[in-house]
Amino acid sequence: MTTARRGRPGYDLESLLQVAVKLFNERGYDGTSMEDLSRKLGITKSAIYHHVPSKEELLRLSVDRALDGLFEVAASTEQLDGRAIDRLEHLVRGSVLVLADRLPFVTLLLRVRGNTKVERSALARRREFDRLVTDLVKQAEAEGDVRPDIDPAVAARLLFGTVNSLIEWYRPRRGSSGAELADAVCKMAFDGLRA
Amino acid sequence: MTTARRGRPGYDLESLLQVAVKLFNERGYDGTSMEDLSRKLGITKSAIYHHVPSKEELLRLSVDRALDGLFEVAASTEQLDGRAIDRLEHLVRGSVLVLADRLPFVTLLLRVRGNTKVERSALARRREFDRLVTDLVKQAEAEGDVRPDIDPAVAARLLFGTVNSLIEWYRPRRGSSGAELADAVCKMAFDGLRA
Protein backbone atom coordinates (compact mmCIF):
# COMPACT_ATOMS: atom_id res chain seq x y z
CA MET A 1 0.00 0.00 0.00
CA THR A 2 2.91 2.34 0.58
CA THR A 3 3.62 2.44 -3.16
CA ALA A 4 0.69 4.80 -3.56
CA ARG A 5 2.69 7.42 -1.66
CA ARG A 6 5.83 7.12 -3.76
CA GLY A 7 6.66 10.34 -5.53
CA ARG A 8 3.63 12.13 -4.05
CA PRO A 9 3.97 15.15 -1.85
CA GLY A 10 3.42 14.52 1.84
CA TYR A 11 0.28 15.93 3.39
CA ASP A 12 0.10 17.80 6.63
CA LEU A 13 -3.20 18.17 8.46
CA GLU A 14 -3.88 21.52 6.80
CA SER A 15 -3.55 20.34 3.20
CA LEU A 16 -5.47 17.17 4.06
CA LEU A 17 -8.28 19.33 5.42
CA GLN A 18 -8.36 21.47 2.26
CA VAL A 19 -8.91 18.36 0.14
CA ALA A 20 -11.43 16.85 2.57
CA VAL A 21 -13.64 19.96 2.71
CA LYS A 22 -13.64 20.17 -1.09
CA LEU A 23 -14.73 16.54 -1.34
CA PHE A 24 -17.40 16.95 1.36
CA ASN A 25 -18.82 19.90 -0.58
CA GLU A 26 -18.83 18.00 -3.87
CA ARG A 27 -20.28 14.71 -2.68
CA GLY A 28 -21.85 15.58 0.65
CA TYR A 29 -20.35 14.56 3.98
CA ASP A 30 -22.45 11.38 4.19
CA GLY A 31 -21.59 10.52 0.60
CA THR A 32 -17.83 10.76 1.16
CA SER A 33 -15.94 7.80 2.63
CA MET A 34 -12.39 7.74 4.01
CA GLU A 35 -11.74 5.42 1.05
CA ASP A 36 -12.80 8.22 -1.36
CA LEU A 37 -10.57 10.65 0.48
CA SER A 38 -7.61 8.29 0.42
CA ARG A 39 -8.05 7.79 -3.35
CA LYS A 40 -8.31 11.54 -3.93
CA LEU A 41 -5.18 12.22 -1.86
CA GLY A 42 -3.27 9.30 -3.29
CA ILE A 43 -2.27 8.16 0.20
CA THR A 44 -3.39 5.22 2.31
CA LYS A 45 -6.19 5.40 4.82
CA SER A 46 -3.69 4.71 7.61
CA ALA A 47 -1.71 7.73 6.44
CA ILE A 48 -4.89 9.78 6.93
CA TYR A 49 -5.51 8.22 10.35
CA HIS A 50 -2.01 9.32 11.27
CA HIS A 51 -3.38 12.89 11.16
CA VAL A 52 -7.00 12.51 12.31
CA PRO A 53 -8.83 9.77 14.20
CA SER A 54 -12.01 9.84 12.08
CA LYS A 55 -13.98 11.35 9.24
CA GLU A 56 -16.14 13.12 11.82
CA GLU A 57 -13.02 14.83 13.20
CA LEU A 58 -12.32 16.18 9.70
CA LEU A 59 -15.86 17.52 9.65
CA ARG A 60 -15.41 19.09 13.09
CA LEU A 61 -12.16 20.79 12.08
CA SER A 62 -13.80 22.04 8.86
CA VAL A 63 -16.94 23.55 10.37
CA ASP A 64 -14.92 24.97 13.28
CA ARG A 65 -12.73 26.79 10.77
CA ALA A 66 -15.87 28.60 9.62
CA LEU A 67 -17.48 29.01 13.03
CA ASP A 68 -14.29 30.23 14.73
CA GLY A 69 -13.96 32.92 12.05
CA LEU A 70 -17.54 34.05 12.57
CA PHE A 71 -17.23 34.07 16.36
CA GLU A 72 -13.99 36.06 16.19
CA VAL A 73 -15.94 38.69 14.26
CA ALA A 74 -18.74 38.48 16.83
CA ALA A 75 -16.21 38.95 19.67
CA SER A 76 -14.62 41.96 17.97
CA THR A 77 -18.13 43.36 17.41
CA GLU A 78 -18.88 43.09 21.10
CA GLN A 79 -15.70 45.07 21.89
CA LEU A 80 -16.98 48.04 19.90
CA ASP A 81 -18.56 51.04 21.48
CA GLY A 82 -21.15 53.10 19.76
CA ARG A 83 -24.48 52.47 18.18
CA ALA A 84 -25.89 49.01 17.57
CA ILE A 85 -26.43 49.71 13.86
CA ASP A 86 -22.70 50.33 13.40
CA ARG A 87 -21.85 47.16 15.33
CA LEU A 88 -24.36 45.27 13.19
CA GLU A 89 -22.74 46.58 10.03
CA HIS A 90 -19.32 45.58 11.41
CA LEU A 91 -20.67 42.07 12.04
CA VAL A 92 -22.13 41.75 8.54
CA ARG A 93 -18.98 43.10 6.89
CA GLY A 94 -16.73 40.82 8.92
CA SER A 95 -18.93 37.80 8.19
CA VAL A 96 -18.68 38.41 4.45
CA LEU A 97 -14.90 38.65 4.78
CA VAL A 98 -14.79 35.34 6.66
CA LEU A 99 -17.04 33.76 4.03
CA ALA A 100 -14.86 35.04 1.17
CA ASP A 101 -11.66 33.99 2.91
CA ARG A 102 -12.85 30.55 4.08
CA LEU A 103 -15.40 29.86 1.34
CA PRO A 104 -15.29 26.02 1.25
CA PHE A 105 -15.48 25.82 5.05
CA VAL A 106 -18.42 28.23 5.31
CA THR A 107 -20.12 26.41 2.42
CA LEU A 108 -19.84 23.12 4.31
CA LEU A 109 -21.09 24.75 7.52
CA LEU A 110 -24.17 26.11 5.79
CA ARG A 111 -25.04 22.69 4.37
CA VAL A 112 -24.78 20.84 7.67
CA ARG A 113 -28.08 19.18 8.50
CA GLY A 114 -27.57 17.71 11.96
CA ASN A 115 -27.19 13.96 11.49
CA THR A 116 -24.15 13.58 13.75
CA LYS A 117 -22.99 14.99 17.07
CA VAL A 118 -20.55 17.31 15.30
CA GLU A 119 -23.30 18.57 12.99
CA ARG A 120 -25.75 19.13 15.85
CA SER A 121 -23.10 21.06 17.74
CA ALA A 122 -22.37 23.17 14.64
CA LEU A 123 -26.07 23.92 14.26
CA ALA A 124 -26.22 24.97 17.92
CA ARG A 125 -23.32 27.40 17.38
CA ARG A 126 -25.03 28.76 14.26
CA ARG A 127 -28.19 29.39 16.29
CA GLU A 128 -26.09 31.18 18.92
CA PHE A 129 -24.61 33.39 16.21
CA ASP A 130 -28.08 34.09 14.78
CA ARG A 131 -29.26 35.17 18.24
CA LEU A 132 -26.41 37.68 18.41
CA VAL A 133 -27.52 39.11 15.07
CA THR A 134 -31.18 39.30 16.08
CA ASP A 135 -30.25 40.97 19.39
CA LEU A 136 -28.19 43.58 17.56
CA VAL A 137 -31.03 44.30 15.12
CA LYS A 138 -33.46 44.69 18.03
CA GLN A 139 -31.07 47.01 19.84
CA ALA A 140 -30.53 49.07 16.68
CA GLU A 141 -34.28 49.31 16.22
CA ALA A 142 -34.71 50.37 19.87
CA GLU A 143 -32.11 53.07 19.24
CA GLY A 144 -34.17 54.28 16.29
CA ASP A 145 -31.57 53.37 13.68
CA VAL A 146 -33.37 50.47 11.99
CA ARG A 147 -36.68 51.05 10.24
CA PRO A 148 -39.49 50.00 12.56
CA ASP A 149 -41.67 48.54 9.81
CA ILE A 150 -39.67 45.32 9.47
CA ASP A 151 -39.82 42.71 12.22
CA PRO A 152 -36.29 42.50 13.75
CA ALA A 153 -36.26 38.69 13.50
CA VAL A 154 -37.17 38.91 9.82
CA ALA A 155 -34.57 41.64 9.25
CA ALA A 156 -31.89 39.48 10.87
CA ARG A 157 -32.82 36.52 8.69
CA LEU A 158 -32.86 38.64 5.53
CA LEU A 159 -29.46 40.10 6.41
CA PHE A 160 -27.77 36.77 6.93
CA GLY A 161 -29.79 35.17 4.16
CA THR A 162 -28.13 37.70 1.86
CA VAL A 163 -24.69 37.00 3.33
CA ASN A 164 -25.10 33.22 3.21
CA SER A 165 -26.44 33.27 -0.35
CA LEU A 166 -22.99 34.41 -1.46
CA ILE A 167 -21.75 30.81 -1.30
CA GLU A 168 -24.01 30.05 -4.27
CA TRP A 169 -22.20 32.33 -6.69
CA TYR A 170 -19.16 34.07 -5.20
CA ARG A 171 -15.84 32.67 -6.42
CA PRO A 172 -12.64 34.46 -5.37
CA ARG A 173 -10.80 35.81 -8.38
CA ARG A 174 -7.85 38.03 -8.98
CA GLY A 175 -9.11 41.59 -9.17
CA SER A 176 -12.15 41.04 -6.96
CA SER A 177 -11.73 41.24 -3.23
CA GLY A 178 -13.82 40.14 -0.30
CA ALA A 179 -13.78 43.76 0.87
CA GLU A 180 -15.58 44.94 -2.29
CA LEU A 181 -18.13 42.19 -1.86
CA ALA A 182 -18.66 43.13 1.80
CA ASP A 183 -19.11 46.76 0.72
CA ALA A 184 -21.77 45.84 -1.83
CA VAL A 185 -23.67 43.71 0.70
CA CYS A 186 -23.62 46.45 3.34
CA LYS A 187 -24.64 49.13 0.84
CA MET A 188 -27.66 47.16 -0.32
CA ALA A 189 -28.72 45.82 3.06
CA PHE A 190 -28.35 49.03 5.08
CA ASP A 191 -29.02 51.77 2.54
CA GLY A 192 -30.77 49.98 -0.30
CA LEU A 193 -30.15 49.73 -4.02
CA ARG A 194 -32.26 52.76 -4.81
CA ALA A 195 -30.19 55.82 -5.70
CA MET B 1 -49.92 -5.85 -5.05
CA THR B 2 -53.27 -4.09 -5.29
CA THR B 3 -53.93 -4.80 -1.60
CA ALA B 4 -51.63 -1.91 -0.76
CA ARG B 5 -54.22 0.45 -2.21
CA ARG B 6 -57.16 -0.90 -0.25
CA GLY B 7 -58.65 1.74 2.00
CA ARG B 8 -56.13 4.37 0.89
CA PRO B 9 -57.21 7.49 -0.86
CA GLY B 10 -56.63 7.53 -4.58
CA TYR B 11 -53.95 9.82 -5.91
CA ASP B 12 -54.30 12.09 -8.86
CA LEU B 13 -51.22 13.53 -10.57
CA GLU B 14 -51.37 16.67 -8.42
CA SER B 15 -51.33 14.93 -5.05
CA LEU B 16 -48.70 12.49 -6.30
CA LEU B 17 -46.54 15.46 -7.29
CA GLN B 18 -46.94 17.07 -3.86
CA VAL B 19 -45.60 13.92 -2.20
CA ALA B 20 -42.82 13.45 -4.78
CA VAL B 21 -41.45 16.99 -4.43
CA LYS B 22 -41.43 16.66 -0.64
CA LEU B 23 -39.47 13.42 -0.88
CA PHE B 24 -37.04 14.85 -3.45
CA ASN B 25 -36.36 17.76 -1.09
CA GLU B 26 -35.83 15.48 1.90
CA ARG B 27 -33.63 12.83 0.29
CA GLY B 28 -32.38 14.52 -2.86
CA TYR B 29 -33.63 13.67 -6.33
CA ASP B 30 -30.83 11.17 -6.96
CA GLY B 31 -31.39 9.62 -3.54
CA THR B 32 -35.10 8.99 -4.12
CA SER B 33 -36.23 5.90 -6.04
CA MET B 34 -39.67 5.17 -7.47
CA GLU B 35 -39.68 2.36 -4.90
CA ASP B 36 -39.30 4.95 -2.09
CA LEU B 37 -42.08 7.00 -3.60
CA SER B 38 -44.37 4.00 -3.93
CA ARG B 39 -43.75 3.08 -0.27
CA LYS B 40 -44.41 6.66 0.84
CA LEU B 41 -47.65 6.83 -1.16
CA GLY B 42 -48.78 3.35 -0.19
CA ILE B 43 -49.51 2.51 -3.82
CA THR B 44 -47.73 0.27 -6.29
CA LYS B 45 -45.10 1.49 -8.70
CA SER B 46 -47.38 0.64 -11.61
CA ALA B 47 -50.05 2.87 -10.07
CA ILE B 48 -47.48 5.68 -10.20
CA TYR B 49 -46.55 4.83 -13.79
CA HIS B 50 -50.23 5.15 -14.62
CA HIS B 51 -49.79 8.90 -13.98
CA VAL B 52 -46.22 9.58 -15.11
CA PRO B 53 -43.82 7.66 -17.33
CA SER B 54 -40.71 8.24 -15.18
CA LYS B 55 -39.11 9.77 -12.12
CA GLU B 56 -37.51 12.37 -14.37
CA GLU B 57 -40.98 13.43 -15.55
CA LEU B 58 -41.93 14.05 -11.90
CA LEU B 59 -38.82 16.20 -11.60
CA ARG B 60 -39.71 18.09 -14.78
CA LEU B 61 -43.26 18.76 -13.60
CA SER B 62 -41.93 19.92 -10.22
CA VAL B 63 -39.30 22.35 -11.43
CA ASP B 64 -41.65 23.64 -14.15
CA ARG B 65 -44.18 24.47 -11.44
CA ALA B 66 -41.57 26.82 -9.98
CA LEU B 67 -40.16 28.10 -13.28
CA ASP B 68 -43.59 28.72 -14.83
CA GLY B 69 -44.52 30.84 -11.81
CA LEU B 70 -41.34 32.87 -12.08
CA PHE B 71 -41.71 33.37 -15.84
CA GLU B 72 -45.35 34.45 -15.43
CA VAL B 73 -44.06 37.17 -13.12
CA ALA B 74 -41.35 38.04 -15.64
CA ALA B 75 -43.95 38.27 -18.42
CA SER B 76 -46.22 40.51 -16.34
CA THR B 77 -43.15 42.64 -15.53
CA GLU B 78 -42.42 43.12 -19.21
CA GLN B 79 -46.00 44.33 -19.75
CA LEU B 80 -45.45 47.20 -17.32
CA ASP B 81 -44.68 50.70 -18.43
CA GLY B 82 -42.64 53.06 -16.37
CA ARG B 83 -39.23 53.06 -14.84
CA ALA B 84 -37.02 50.00 -14.71
CA ILE B 85 -36.59 50.27 -10.93
CA ASP B 86 -40.34 49.88 -10.46
CA ARG B 87 -40.43 46.92 -12.83
CA LEU B 88 -37.49 45.41 -10.95
CA GLU B 89 -39.33 45.81 -7.66
CA HIS B 90 -42.42 44.20 -9.24
CA LEU B 91 -40.27 41.26 -10.35
CA VAL B 92 -38.71 40.81 -6.91
CA ARG B 93 -42.06 41.09 -5.13
CA GLY B 94 -43.71 38.64 -7.52
CA SER B 95 -40.83 36.18 -7.19
CA VAL B 96 -41.15 36.17 -3.40
CA LEU B 97 -44.89 35.52 -3.77
CA VAL B 98 -44.20 32.58 -6.10
CA LEU B 99 -41.59 31.25 -3.69
CA ALA B 100 -43.96 31.54 -0.71
CA ASP B 101 -46.84 29.97 -2.64
CA ARG B 102 -44.85 27.14 -4.27
CA LEU B 103 -42.17 26.70 -1.61
CA PRO B 104 -41.34 22.99 -2.09
CA PHE B 105 -41.17 23.41 -5.87
CA VAL B 106 -38.91 26.47 -5.72
CA THR B 107 -36.76 24.72 -3.09
CA LEU B 108 -36.27 21.77 -5.43
CA LEU B 109 -35.51 24.10 -8.36
CA LEU B 110 -32.82 25.93 -6.40
CA ARG B 111 -31.11 22.65 -5.45
CA VAL B 112 -30.97 21.29 -8.99
CA ARG B 113 -27.36 20.66 -9.99
CA GLY B 114 -27.57 19.63 -13.64
CA ASN B 115 -26.98 15.87 -13.71
CA THR B 116 -29.89 15.07 -16.06
CA LYS B 117 -31.41 16.61 -19.16
CA VAL B 118 -34.32 17.97 -17.12
CA GLU B 119 -31.93 19.54 -14.62
CA ARG B 120 -29.75 21.09 -17.31
CA SER B 121 -32.83 22.55 -18.97
CA ALA B 122 -34.01 23.95 -15.61
CA LEU B 123 -30.60 25.53 -15.06
CA ALA B 124 -30.78 27.10 -18.53
CA ARG B 125 -34.18 28.63 -17.70
CA ARG B 126 -32.80 29.91 -14.39
CA ARG B 127 -29.94 31.59 -16.24
CA GLU B 128 -32.45 33.16 -18.64
CA PHE B 129 -34.39 34.52 -15.65
CA ASP B 130 -31.18 35.83 -14.09
CA ARG B 131 -30.36 37.67 -17.32
CA LEU B 132 -33.75 39.40 -17.18
CA VAL B 133 -32.95 40.55 -13.65
CA THR B 134 -29.48 41.78 -14.55
CA ASP B 135 -30.84 43.64 -17.60
CA LEU B 136 -33.45 45.38 -15.45
CA VAL B 137 -30.83 46.40 -12.88
CA LYS B 138 -28.62 47.81 -15.65
CA GLN B 139 -31.53 49.69 -17.15
CA ALA B 140 -32.51 51.09 -13.74
CA GLU B 141 -28.92 52.17 -13.18
CA ALA B 142 -28.83 53.82 -16.63
CA GLU B 143 -32.01 55.69 -15.66
CA GLY B 144 -30.25 56.90 -12.52
CA ASP B 145 -32.51 55.02 -10.11
CA VAL B 146 -30.02 52.43 -8.84
CA ARG B 147 -26.93 53.54 -6.96
CA PRO B 148 -24.00 53.57 -9.36
CA ASP B 149 -21.47 52.33 -6.81
CA ILE B 150 -22.59 48.68 -6.98
CA ASP B 151 -21.87 46.62 -10.08
CA PRO B 152 -25.26 45.77 -11.68
CA ALA B 153 -24.36 42.09 -12.01
CA VAL B 154 -23.46 41.98 -8.29
CA ALA B 155 -26.63 43.88 -7.39
CA ALA B 156 -28.73 41.38 -9.37
CA ARG B 157 -27.05 38.46 -7.62
CA LEU B 158 -27.49 40.03 -4.18
CA LEU B 159 -31.17 40.73 -4.89
CA PHE B 160 -31.98 37.19 -5.92
CA GLY B 161 -29.58 35.75 -3.38
CA THR B 162 -31.76 37.43 -0.77
CA VAL B 163 -34.96 36.13 -2.39
CA ASN B 164 -33.63 32.59 -2.81
CA SER B 165 -32.28 32.46 0.75
CA LEU B 166 -35.88 32.54 1.95
CA ILE B 167 -36.21 28.81 1.25
CA GLU B 168 -33.77 28.21 4.12
CA TRP B 169 -36.05 29.60 6.81
CA TYR B 170 -39.44 30.74 5.53
CA ARG B 171 -42.29 28.41 6.47
CA PRO B 172 -45.86 29.49 5.65
CA ARG B 173 -47.92 29.89 8.80
CA ARG B 174 -51.30 31.21 9.64
CA GLY B 175 -50.94 34.91 10.38
CA SER B 176 -47.91 35.45 8.16
CA SER B 177 -48.43 36.06 4.48
CA GLY B 178 -46.20 35.94 1.46
CA ALA B 179 -47.13 39.56 0.82
CA GLU B 180 -45.63 40.68 4.15
CA LEU B 181 -42.49 38.75 3.37
CA ALA B 182 -42.28 40.31 -0.09
CA ASP B 183 -42.71 43.74 1.51
CA ALA B 184 -39.87 43.13 3.94
CA VAL B 185 -37.54 41.92 1.17
CA CYS B 186 -38.31 44.93 -1.04
CA LYS B 187 -37.93 47.39 1.83
CA MET B 188 -34.52 46.06 2.76
CA ALA B 189 -33.22 45.54 -0.77
CA PHE B 190 -34.41 48.81 -2.30
CA ASP B 191 -34.38 51.24 0.63
CA GLY B 192 -32.19 49.55 3.21
CA LEU B 193 -32.67 48.59 6.83
CA ARG B 194 -31.36 51.91 8.10
CA ALA B 195 -34.09 54.20 9.38
For residue A57, being part of any structural domain is answered with no
Q: Which residues of B touch A189 (CB under 8 A)?
A: 188-189, 192-193
Q: What is the pLDDT of residue A91?
A: 98
The answer on B166 and B127 residing in a single domain is yes
CATH number at residue B7: 1.10.10.60
The answer on B70 and B109 residing in a single domain is yes
Domain end position, chosen among B11, B31, B53: B53
The answer on A67 and A42 residing in a single domain is no
Which of A142-146, B39-43, B161-165 is the least confident region?
B39-43
A157 → closest Cβ in B154, B155, B169: B169
Q: What is the mean pLDDT of residues A50-65?
A: 95
Q: What is the pLDDT of residue B175?
A: 66
The answer on B92 and B169 residing in a single domain is yes
Model confidence over B148-183: pLDDT tens digits?
999 999 999 999 999 999 999 999 886 668 999 999
Residue B4: band (very low, low, confident or very high) from pLDDT cuts 50, 70, 90: very low
CATH number at residue A76: 1.10.357.10
What is the span of the domain harbouring residue A158? 62-191
The answer on A97 and A37 residing in a single domain is no
The answer on A115 and A41 residing in a single domain is no
The answer on A180 and A101 residing in a single domain is yes
Q: Under an 8 A CB cutoff, do A155 and B184 touch?
A: yes
The answer on B133 and B112 residing in a single domain is yes
Q: What is the pLDDT of residue B147?
A: 95
Q: Which residues of B touch A115 (CB under 8 A)?
A: none
For residue A103, being part of any structural domain is answered with yes
Q: What is the pLDDT of residue B146?
A: 96
The answer on B132 and B160 residing in a single domain is yes
The answer on A149 and A104 residing in a single domain is yes
Is residue B8 over pLDDT 70? no
The answer on A83 and A22 residing in a single domain is no
For residue A106, being part of any structural domain is answered with yes
Q: Under an 8 A CB cutoff, do A192 and B190 touch?
A: yes
For residue A165, being part of any structural domain is answered with yes
ipTM: 0.89
Q: Which residues of B touch A151 (CB under 8 A)?
A: 184
Q: What is the pLDDT of residue A5?
A: 43
Give the integer Cα–Cα distance in Å for B143 and B166. Answer: 29
Residue of A nearest to B168 (CA): A161
The answer on A23 and A114 residing in a single domain is no
Domain end position, chosen among B53, B73, B95: B53
Number of domains in chain B: 2
Domain end position, chosen among B10, B28, B53: B53
